[in-house]
Amino acid sequence: MEQRPVRPRRRNTSRKVATKKRDHMNIADEINEVIRKITSSGESHQVILERAFGTGAADLWNACTNPQRLSRWFEPVRGDLTLGGRYTLTTSGTEGEIRRCEPPRHLAITWEYQGNISHVDVEVIPAANELTLLRLTHPDDHWDTYGPAAAGVGWEESLRALSRYLGGDARCDPDAMEAFAGTPEGQELTRRAANAWGRADQEAGTPASDAETRALRTAAFYLGGTGEEQSDG
């Protein structure tokens, strides 16, 4: 079996982090906040996520690139954070090069983890009704086993944390997000997100049975299993 997917940010599902305030969200609304797309060219497959935020382009860009703000909802980052420089996410050890930086519209970086190199592309797009759209594109290196949900579910978690942060919710930090993910509500959200990527997989031309199997396998991985419980047949 190929290497299992790397979650975009830290998650340790073997333990639970206590929180004083019970977390609630409308799961259906949360699933509908994200637009999921897949593009393919030969053996290369990319997942595309789009989510709208209730802030301006400059603020959204700053929240994604300012080290002090980034650590509040994603991971601490250090390095030469300029065009051509290299960054390191200190929790996961992910690192890479800043290939394109056009404030406040376009960021492109390499995503390097344990010898695997891919590319992440982020666009910030002003939208109607005082909203700003964030579009994130990332190749999926685990397509055969997990399908688009491998990268998609993890990045959805990160965009959910960003939404909380921009909304002034202190529960945006990684520990609080980890705690929520371990609750029954958080687990159900993970399952539904994986299923939503399974539907996107079908819409991109994957047979329904294969798409469903890969979505279930991804959900099992994110919920603390090996992801190998679902067979290929």
Write out pLDDT tens, residues 84-141. 999 999 999 999 999 999 999 999 999 999 888 999 999 999 999 999 999 999 987 7
Sorting pLDDT into bands at 50, 70 and 90, what band is 83?
Answer: very high
DSSP β-bridge partners for residue 40: 45
Sorting pLDDT into bands at 50, 70 and 90, what band is 25?
Answer: confident
Write out pLDDT tens, residues 28-55. 999 999 999 999 887 889 999 999 999 9
Q: Do the beta carbons of residue 200 and residue 39 sit within 8 Å?
A: no
Q: Provide mean pLDDT across the span 168-194.
A: 95
When mean pLDDT is compared over 12-21, 86-95, 144-153, the highest value belongs to 86-95
Q: Do the beta carbons of residue 42 and residue 206 sit within 8 Å?
A: no
The more confidently predicted of residues 1 and 229 is: 229
In the prediction, which pLDDT does 204 show? 94
Spatial distance between the Cα atoms of 135 and 162, rounded to a whole number of angstroms: 13
Sorting pLDDT into bands at 50, 70 and 90, what band is 233?
Answer: very low
Asked whether residue 72 carries a pLDDT value surpassing 70, the answer given is yes
In the prediction, which pLDDT does 125 show? 98
In the prediction, which pLDDT does 165 show? 98
In the prediction, which pLDDT does 224 show? 87
**Positive or negative torsion for Cα 187, 46, 111, 122:** negative
Asked whether residue 12 carries a pLDDT value surpassing 80, the answer given is no
Asked whether residue 192 carries a pLDDT value surpassing 70, the answer given is yes
Asked whether residue 15 carries a pLDDT value surpassing 50, the answer given is no
CATH topology of domain 27-222: Alpha-D-Glucose-1,6-Bisphosphate; Chain A, domain 4 (3.30.530)
DSSP structure string for the chain: -PPPPPPSS---TTS----SS-----HHHHHHTEEEEEEEETTEEEEEEEEEESS-HHHHHHHHH-HHHHHHHS--EEE--STT-EEEETTT--EEEEEEEETTTEEEEEEEETTEEEEEEEEEEE-STT-EEEEEEEE-TTHHHHTTHHHHHHHHHHHHHHHHHHTT-GGGSHHHHHHHHTSHHHHHHHHHHHHHHHHHHHHTT--HHHHHHHHHHHHHHHTTS-S-SS---
Q: Tokens 């797309």 belong to which residue?
A: 37
Domain ranges of the chain: 27-222
Residue-wise over 91-121: b if at least 16 C-beta within 10 A, else e?
Answer: ebebbbbbeebeebeebbbbbbbeeeebbbb
The more confidently predicted of residues 145 and 28 is: 28
Q: Kindly report the three-state secondary structure assignment for every residue of 81-131.
A: CCCCCEEEECCCCCEEEEEEEECCCEEEEEEEECCEEEEEEEEEEECCCCC
In the prediction, which pLDDT does 4 show? 44
In the prediction, which pLDDT does 5 show? 52
